[in-house]
C-alpha cells in the first residue's frame, strides 16, 4: 500500500537523528515537509539540505517541520547533519519502509548500470496527517522555495 494524495498517511514508526522512536503521530498538529534524497554528502543532496537549512526559520514560522529521509544510517546522518549544520532531523530508512510507502524507489542508470535508488521527492502533509502535495523527480534549484510557497 502506498501513500495516496488527499488521504491520511499511515502512522509509520521510524528513527531520526533526534529520537530513535518516532512516528508521524508525534507531529500531529504540525505541517510536515518530508523530503527524500538519495545519499548523504553527495553534491545534489548537500545543496538541497542546505537550501532547507537556509529557509528553516521561514518553515518554522509557517508551523512546519522538515524531515529529511534517506537509506543512510543514523551515524552517516549525524555526520551529514553536523557537516551541513542542519537544524532539522534526518530519518534513517535503511529497511526502505518509508521509501516503499511513498513509492520513491525507482530504477536509475548509474554509470551505465541499472540500479534501484531513491528518486528525489518531497511530500507535504497537513496538520491532520493528510498528504496534500507531492513533488517527484525533483530538480534541486528553486525546489525548496517552491515548497515554502506551498506551505505559506
Sign of the CA dihedral 142, 134, 126, 72? Answer: negative
In DSSP terms, 15 is beta-bridged to: 92
Which position among 45, 84, 99, 149 bears the catalytic label?
Answer: 45
Give residue-wise pLDDT tens across range 51-87: 999 999 999 999 999 999 999 999 999 999 999 999 9
- Per-residue model confidence as pLDDT tens digits over 95-135: 999 999 999 999 887 788 888 889 999 999 999 999 999 99
pLDDT of the residue at 110: 73
What is the pLDDT, as a whole number, of residue 29? 96
Active site residue 99: no
Amino acid at each position: 500500500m502506498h501513500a495516496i494524495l488527499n488521504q491520511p498517511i499511515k502512522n509509520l514508526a521510524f528513527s531520526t537523528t533526534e529520537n530513535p522512536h518516532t512516528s508521524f503521530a508525534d507531529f500531529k498538529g504540525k505541517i510536515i515537509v518530508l523530503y527524500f534524497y538519495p545519499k548523504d554528502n553527495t553534491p545534489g543532496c548537500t545543496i538541497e539540505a542546505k537550501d532547507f537549512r537556509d529557509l528553516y526559520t521561514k518553515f518554522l514560522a509557517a508551523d512546519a517541520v522538515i524531515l529529511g529521509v534517506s537509506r543512510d544510517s543514523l551515524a552517516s546522518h549525524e555526520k551529514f547533519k553536523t557537516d551541513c549544520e542542519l537544524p532539522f532531523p534526518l530519518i534513517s530508512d535503511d529497511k526502505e519502509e518509508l521509501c516503499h510507502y511513498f513509492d520513491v524507489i525507482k530504477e536509475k542508470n548509474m554509470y551505465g548500470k541499472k540500479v534501484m535508488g531513491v528518486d528525489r521527492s518531497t511530500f507535504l502533509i497537513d496538520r491532520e496527517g493528510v498528504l496534500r502535495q507531492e513533488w517527484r523527480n525533483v530538480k534541486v534549484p528553486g525546489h525548496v522555495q517552491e515548497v515554502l510557497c506551498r506551505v505559506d
